[in-house]
Amino acid sequence: MTASKTDSSARNGRRGATQQKLLAFASLIVLVIGFSVANSNFMQVSNLLAILQAASVNGVLAIGVTLIIITGGIDLSIGTLMTFCAVMTGVVLTWLGAPLIVGVVTAIGTGALSGLISGSLVAKMKIPPFIATLGMMLILKGLSLIVTGTRPIYFNDTPGFDQISRGSLVGWVVPAFPVPNGVLILFVIAGLVSWVLSRTVLGRYTFALGSNEEAVRLSGVNADAWKMAIYAVAGAIVGVGGLLIASRLNSAQPALGLGYELEAIAAVVIGGTSLSGGRGTILGTLIGALIMAVLTNGLRVLSVAPEWQTVVTGAIIIVAVYADQLRRRAPG
Amino acid sequence: MTASKTDSSARNGRRGATQQKLLAFASLIVLVIGFSVANSNFMQVSNLLAILQAASVNGVLAIGVTLIIITGGIDLSIGTLMTFCAVMTGVVLTWLGAPLIVGVVTAIGTGALSGLISGSLVAKMKIPPFIATLGMMLILKGLSLIVTGTRPIYFNDTPGFDQISRGSLVGWVVPAFPVPNGVLILFVIAGLVSWVLSRTVLGRYTFALGSNEEAVRLSGVNADAWKMAIYAVAGAIVGVGGLLIASRLNSAQPALGLGYELEAIAAVVIGGTSLSGGRGTILGTLIGALIMAVLTNGLRVLSVAPEWQTVVTGAIIIVAVYADQLRRRAPG
Amino acid sequence: MTATTDLIRMEQIDKRFPGVHALKSVDFDLRAGEVHALMGENGAGKSTLMKCLSGIYQPTSGRIVIDGNEVQLSTPKAAQDLGIGIIHQELELMRDLTVAQNIWIGREPRLSFGRIDEAKLNADAAALFEGMNVSIDPKAPVSSLTIARQQMVEIAKALSFRSRVLIMDEPTAALTEAEIEELFTIIRRLRSEGVGIIYISHKMDEIRRISDRVTVMRDGSYVGTVQAADTPISQIISMMVGRDVDDEPVEVPDLSRAEVALEVRHLSRGRDVKDVTFSLRKGEILGFAGLMGAGRTELARAIFGAEPPDEGEIVVHGHHMTIRSPSDAVAAGIGYLSEDRKHYGLALGLDVRANIALASLGRYADRIGRIDEHRLAGIAQDYIRTLNIRTPHDQQQVRFLSGGNQQKVVIAKWLLRDCDILIFDEPTRGIDVGAKSEIYRLLNDLAARGKAIIVISSELPEVLRLSHRIAVMCEGRLTGILPGGAAQEEIMALATQREGMTAE
Amino acid sequence: QDEMYIPLISKGFQHQFWQAVNAGAQQAADELGVRVTFEGPDNESQVDKQMDMLAAALANKPKAIGFAALDSQAAIPLLRQAQEAGIPIIAFDSGVDSDIPVTTASTDNVAAAALAADKMAELVGGKGKVAVVAHDQTSRTGVDRRDGFVNRMKEAHPDIEIVAIEYGGGDQLKSTEITKALLTANPDLVGIFGTNEGSAIGVVNGVREMGTKGLTIIGYDSGKAQTDAIREGLMAGAITQNPVGIGYETVKAAVAAAKGESVPPSIDTGFYWYDATNIDDPEIAAVLYD
Ligand SMILES: Nc1ncnc2c1ncn2[C@@H]1O[C@H](COP(=O)(O)OP(=O)(O)OP(=O)(O)O)[C@@H](O)[C@H]1O
Ligand SMILES: Nc1ncnc2c1ncn2[C@@H]1O[C@H](COP(=O)(O)OP(=O)(O)OP(=O)(O)O)[C@@H](O)[C@H]1O
Ligand SMILES: [Mg+2]
Ligand SMILES: [Mg+2]
């Protein structure tokens, strides 16, 4: 008797999850169709590629911070960390003349290290994530300026560096749709992290920590160590974001980055991940990042005045999350 | 026997709370002494007044957001709301030529109304506070620019407006220590809100909602209405912040405000209020705002390079909150 | 059975919290292959002692000896590694994870690249439930389970460790007879396998049925250890409370002339409440019996507006009421004490006084909303005295109270609110014998004063002891209403009656 | 689709300066019968946001684009894309290190700041300590104005010591607090240079709140608060660019280029020193805004 009930509700849960993703996707489609109707220029291949390109950096950052948000934390340092990773890459590639691969490793390593530090502030020193990463945000912002002497580092001497983001492996195969590598990287990372979240121990503890950290601890799991690992992985992903932006600008711009964290977090929440932890998907985050990019680009293509762009963006963020809420309440 | 237990531990509990405040105060004193020793110019009356003045706007915003943080929420819109309140005051005073008091009421009313809207987004529409107020942040930012046509509104035609913040009632009585009215207003609001939190039903529900919202609802309390009221009160306080900044700049600067929310939140957390809700004091927030102001001013007086100022500020925020953690763990 | 060797010896254990001396040089020992019951009033220190043994708290002083060696249990993991497993009094589950994921957290079967063998995970959990003779879908999210089923998950998790020592802190508080029987079967099997079991419960009959020895604590001190078989229950009780507890049976008053306080007509909500109709008179105590998941809690929540009903009418004192939220319900004079105090009853971070006042604040505030703290303090102290709430003072945070004392705080909250119609969902969950009879007396008094009361309880003796009439539910349907003195068999028949006949 | 469409991608839009550029652009648009849009990122560090704006602008297939590059190197691939599509680029405000733009309508910020340094030296009598409250540590305009001022001081006025350079992000309130801290740390300061409107107003505010007398304040750009401060005598004078002219010339050149007409390789829109003595002269009044 009870078993059958249990089953049906579990089924319900699963149906709910699929529905949710489909519906978030629906918001995206509604936006795309709306903009296409309003201005036929929106639907050009070149503009769609521009949107994807614009989503790539924010998307990668959002994927990184999704991990942390699922643990019930938050990371405000991702914007300036992205910049700091770009700067460190500039240092090894341009100043030290290291080969490209070293630059890639540096970006990811710097991100992971910084993530590890944030993680230990949170896990070991019990500093609330908001404050720990706010502090890290300021520290990393300052460090980028200090290391570069406040001047951008250009990658002109590293041929091929700009291809990391701007080149197109896909275009090599399908010339009609030259998806930039930056976008390819976004999707590869999304796939990878999605897999980690759903299939691996790290993923399991990410959800478990966000769901009930005390229970995880009482189960004899070294919760602190796992939390630090999760922050480090998130940092490494942000490092990839640093590579992407540096490659796109063919330079490391030391003052960039502040404010990017809020955009990334907005993408995560629009994608249905709960800020109270325990729940979230990478697919959702990806869709969230695309919604943000479509919105920004679409309003610009429609030549909406910039101050109105701000208002409309704010309103749509609220509406998108509200729609998500309604959806979720509907079955319960 | 139980009676004797009651007594000793009650004394204990009270001592703990006092200790904490004293120790947060100690961090402040350490900073002040440190800076005085490093540079004798720091300890002048004029500089101390400058620090207080600098703390006034951030302090008022921080007090507003303290209420919301105690309910377990967050408000990212306070910075741009402050600006929008200033703008609306400019509209009624300068464009419509209304008397001063109408301007004051407009600022506070605008703040309360916007708070009410944020509150209903959170309470009625169940949008997470982070997203609801992120949306409001963007909307209010855009509205300020739209209303003003992106031009500042000057208060030259409203004599006495700049006295709201710059004048000195205290200096009138104690000429040697001309505390600006802005600072006086900060302390009055701190006292008032402190009283509301500890003595009134609104204050009690603020803590209760942050501690367990569902339990409050199931106690038959109209939790949504109270939450909206709390957001509205917080908004009204931010409105006072808008008055203060407008008065100090003798103008409403429509592009200002972004980033002020993080500073205010940092002050709140340094002051010992927990971001997970249910715990916090206004005295702590006040001390937090002073710590931030002393830090910023002191580093500048010491002529620390700006990029290092950022790093040191980030580090000290982390250290201050860590010290608070240690303190709190110590008795447990 | 190597009955003579001590598996564990705790000697002179002392534990102090700020303002509370929770354990005062307590001695305790456990042998392999025995069930050792730990008894004591709410707040006596039972959970605290067990937390010291499972690595969650470190004793202020004292020794813990396992297999003859003194050990330091500095983390839960350290205790686990020594073969000590615990089922916590308060549920500690990860609500967003599935049942199987919860059980194997930290011990996931792994494949290469840190992958989890999800199939094995689910199969292992299913096997575990099979051994326990319960049917829970390993893939169901824990948040979709009732408290009782969550409790079964906790038990399954503790069993999965195959510990040599198993601590059960009130495992049956949320269970009904059938599950308790299953649990006892499991306990007996474990005992025969040489596992040492520490068993904490406030249900006196269970002690007789399952335990070998009984250790009693009072006010953080060790009182004594006795053999369960040859010690009368009354002696154990007087060791616990330091006096005798008398328990007079219910006398059903004649209520036929009393005014009808509450009428519920054709109330339905989702799959959990189906077409429920009943009425309740002033001065009446209506007991609700049923198996786990019968829908009693859902019915109460629907009446209270916590989960507004899909269909049906609620009539209070002859007036139709539209109840869409708890505040509507309270305004209509209906109060509801939830079965889940931690999630729905208490603001754990607030103090005892504030929690007691939570539902009645308006009454103690003046026009500008200023609270009369002085009066509230007096009232809080009254309740602390009448309900015998163990707390150092009325400004102690509720989170630091023992489970049973927390429950008393919730009861105090509703007593202070003074609703005409009161719904108590598992009011004595986790409450000690002494306090239980206090609460029974209290409910009788309330009824005598004209309150209309619904008591939902999974303990049949409690329903029988309290109710003037007994409503029985099965699968969301009201299968029948019996008079107060009904026999247990009658109730069980209705509780398992799938095809519902119309009530009354 | 008869109407010619020309988007202007600027470095910002919220500041008065950019609004004045916009006003000049709209004026030219009205005169020439074209449609001009104007936008820019929130602050001058958001290089990639500006590129997204450029990409969105390209989607609408404009006849020409006005572009004020935050980082000219970073923008080159998109500019090249525009060039390949036959869309002429008009650089404004500051140049682009590339031969893609057909012309540049800009102010020489380095020379303008050097003029501010000369004026400062003249007003303080050639010696003493001065400080700079700059608006940005990394943006082109911030760096040019700071370096133009500092380097000119070093070269031409060796007796003047620059004791501090702080950055207030162009935020009036932050610049106010910075000024007060500067005055505390350096009681013997004789002059402060504020490198944009917000910084300059902040300096005036800070000095007013501290009640310091006899300090020489030099500002940059215009706006009501600055012109008022100059009339009151609190501010000695300021450098103004000709933002309206920049916007106007940019659009004019864009239309010409779109029609295939020839345009001069660079358009210097000039800068001016103004103080209480010449603030009401017609040629100065024409380049001030408020
Ligand atoms: N973390 C803590 N801080 C302060 N006091 C505590 C803490 N934990 C427990 N106590 C106190 O220690 C005493 C013993 O509590 P404990 O939970 O062990 O009681 P218990 O015997 O398990 O009661 P119950 O039957 O109600 O579960 C109580 O007075 C309680 O208030
Ligand atoms: N939080 C919940 N989420 C999903 N389903 C629930 C929840 N609570 C209860 N249910 C479902 O509602 C049905 C009725 O449960 P309810 O709690 O009302 O039963 P009950 O008779 O009070 O039994 P119990 O003794 O378990 O409290 C159960 O079958 C359960 O599956
Ligand atoms: Mg207990
Ligand atoms: Mg129930």
Residue of A nearest to D10 (CA): A306
Residue C486 DSSP code: -
Report CA torsion sign: C434, C439, C444, C445.
positive
Ligand 1 contact via C38 beta carbon (within 6 Å): no
Q: What tokens appear for C230 in the block?
A: 């040859």
Range B48-329 has CATH code 1.10.3470: yes
- Taking chain C (504 residues) in runs of 10, the rounded mean pLDDT of each run is 70 90 94 94 92 94 92 91 90 91 92 91 94 90 86 90 92 84 91 94 88 94 92 88 68 78 94 93 93 88 93 93 93 92 90 94 90 94 91 92 90 93 92 85 90 92 90 92 86 76 44
Per-residue pLDDT of A278-317, as tens digits, reads: 999 999 999 999 999 999 999 999 989 989 999 999 999 8
pLDDT in tens, A60-99: 999 999 999 999 999 999 999 999 999 999 999 999 999 9
Q: 3-state SS of chain C: helix, strand, coil percent to 5?
A: 35, 25, 40
HEC sequence for C97-142: CEHHHHHCCCCCCECHHHEECHHHHHHHHHHHHHHHCCCCCCCCEH
Which residue owns the Cα nearest ligand 2 atom 9?
C146
pLDDT at residue D282 greater than cutoff 60: yes
pLDDT tens across C351-377, in order?
A: 999 999 999 998 999 988 999 999 999
How much is the pLDDT for D200?
A: 95
Substitution candidate for ligand 1 out of C38, C48, C433 with most atoms within 8 A of CB: C48
**The domain defined by C259-333+419-504 carries CATH number 3.40.50.300:** yes
- Condensed to tens digits (0 to 9), the pLDDT of residues B139-187 reads 999 999 999 998 899 998 888 898 998 888 888 888 888 899 999 999 9
Lowest mean pLDDT among A288-297, B6-15, B296-305, D5-14: B6-15
Where would I find the beta strands (DSSP E) of B119-254? 153-154, 251-252
Determine how β-strand A153-154 pairs with β-strand A251-252.
antiparallel
Rounded to the nearest angstrom, the minimum Cα separation between A245 and chain B is 22
Question: Ligand 1 centroid vs B136 CA: distance in angstroms?
Answer: 45
C/D touch flag: 3 or more CB pairs below 8 Å: no
Read off the pLDDT band of A23 (50, 70, 90).
low
Predicted ipTM beyond 0.85: yes
Closest C-alpha among B216, B207, B102, B236 to residue B161: B102
Q: Give the global pTM.
A: 0.89
The per-residue pLDDT for range D138-186, each reduced to its tens digit, is 888 899 999 999 999 999 999 999 999 999 988 999 999 999 999 999 9
Secondary structure (DSSP) of C445-474: HHHHTT-EEEEE-S-HHHHHHH-SEEEEEE
d(CA B136, CA B127): 12
pLDDT score of A55 more than 50 = yes
Q: Comparing C-alpha atoms, which of B81, B89, B84 is closest to residue B155?
A: B89
Residue nearest to ligand 1 atom 1, measured at CA: C400
Averaged pLDDT, B9-35? 64
Q: Which two tokens stand for residue B232?
A: 């509205």
Chain B: which residues have CB within 8 Å of chain C? 1-2, 5-10, 12-13, 16, 199-202, 204-205, 207-208, 210-212, 214-223, 278-279, 331-332
Query: Closest Cα of chain D to B256: distance in Å?
Result: 7
Mean pLDDT rounded to a whole number for chain D: 91
C24 Cα: distance to centroid of ligand 1 (angstroms) = 13
Q: Which ligand gives the minimal distance to the CA of C176?
A: 2
pLDDT at B332 exceeding the cut of 60: no
Chain B nearest-CA distance from A89, in A, is 20
**Nearest CA to CA, how far is C140 from chain B (Å)?**
24
CB contact under 8 A, B200 and C370: yes
Residue C48, ligand 1, Cβ within 6 A: yes
Pocket test for ligand 1, best of C20, C240, C348 (most atoms within 8 A of CB): C20
Structure tokens at A79: 């914007």
pLDDT in tens, B236-286: 999 999 999 999 999 999 989 998 999 999 999 888 888 888 989 999 999
The reported pLDDT for the residue numbered D281 is 92
Mean pLDDT, range A186-193, rounded to an integer: 97
The residue contributing the CA closest to ligand 1 atom 19 is C43
Owner of token pair 């369960």: C228
State the pLDDT at residue C456: 95
Question: B199-243: per-residue pLDDT in tens?
Answer: 999 999 999 999 999 999 999 999 999 999 999 999 999 999 999
Distance C454 CA to ligand 2 centre (A): 18
CA atoms within 13 A of residue D184's CA, in its CB half-sphere? 31
Cα C407 to middle of ligand 1, angstroms: 13
pLDDT tens digits, one per residue of C411-451: 999 999 999 999 999 998 888 888 888 888 889 989 999 99
CA distances from C246 to C271, C426, D103 (A): 42, 22, 101
Given C20, C327, C347, which is nearest B211 (Cβ)?
C347
Q: What's the confidence (pLDDT) of residue D202?
A: 94
CA-closest candidate to residue A65, choices A295, A294, A263, A244: A263
List Cα–Cα distances, B64 to A76, A113, C174, in angstroms.
Answer: 22, 36, 43
Which pair of tokens denotes residue D240?
């103004």
Inter-chain residue contact D209 with B50, CB threshold 8 Å: yes
| Cβ-contact B19, C406 below 8 angstroms | no
pLDDT for residue C255: 75
Q: Do A220 and C76 touch (CB under 8 A)?
A: yes
Q: What order of strands is seen across the sheet that includes strand C469-474?
A: C334-337, C421-425, C452-456, C285-290, C469-474, C477-483
Question: A158-167, A264-273, A320-329: which range is least confident on average?
Answer: A320-329
Are D74 and A46 within 8 A, CB to CB?
Answer: no
Q: Which of C277, C264, C179 is nearest to C477 (CA)?
A: C277
Residue nearest ligand 1's atom 29 by CA: C43
Mark out chain C residues that contact chain A at CB-CB < 8 A. 56, 75-77, 80-81, 88, 92-97, 101-102, 105-106, 108, 110, 113-116, 118, 135-137, 139-141, 144-145, 149, 157, 271, 292-293, 475, 498
Residues with CB under 6 Å of ligand 2 are A 5, 9; C 144, 146-148, 272, 290, 292-298, 339, 458
Nearest CA to ligand 2 atom 23: C293
Find the mean pLDDT for residues B115-139. 95
CATH code: domain C6-241 is 3.40.50.300
**For residue B8, pLDDT beyond 50:** no
Question: What mean pLDDT comes out for the span A7-17?
Answer: 39
Do B87 and B147 meet the contact criterion of CB atoms below 8 Å apart?
Answer: yes
pLDDT at B27: 83
- Tokens standing for residue C495: 């509780």
The reported pLDDT for the residue numbered A7 is 34
C219: chain B residues, CB-CB within 8 Å: 1
What count of Cα atoms within 13 Å lies in the side-chain half-sphere of residue C282?
A: 13
C406 lines ligand 1 (CB under 6 A): no
Using CA atoms, how far residue B94 sits from A170, B86, B102, B116, B253, in Å, is 59, 12, 11, 26, 14
User: Are C258 and C420 in contact, with CB atoms under 8 Å apart?
Assistant: no
Q: Chain A contacts of B134, Cβ < 8 Å? A: 262, 265-266, 314, 317
Residue with tokens 């006295």: B163
Cross-strand partners of C311: C268
Q: Domain map of chain C by residue range?
A: 6-241, 259-333+419-504, 347-417
Ligand lying nearest the CA atom of residue C427? 4
Confidence check: pLDDT of A102 > 50:
yes
Minimal C-alpha gap between D28 and chain B (Å):
20
Nearest CA in chain B to D174: B54
- Backbone angle region of D257, left / alpha / beta, with phi > 0 → left and psi within -120 to 50 → alpha: alpha
- The shortest C-alpha distance from C349 to chain B (Å) reads 5
CA C443 to centroid of ligand 3, rounded, Å? 24
Question: Could you check whether C6-241 and C259-333+419-504 share the same CATH topology?
Answer: yes
C437 in contact with ligand 1, CB cutoff 6 A: no
**pLDDT for B75:** 96
Return the ligand number nearest the Cα of C87.
3
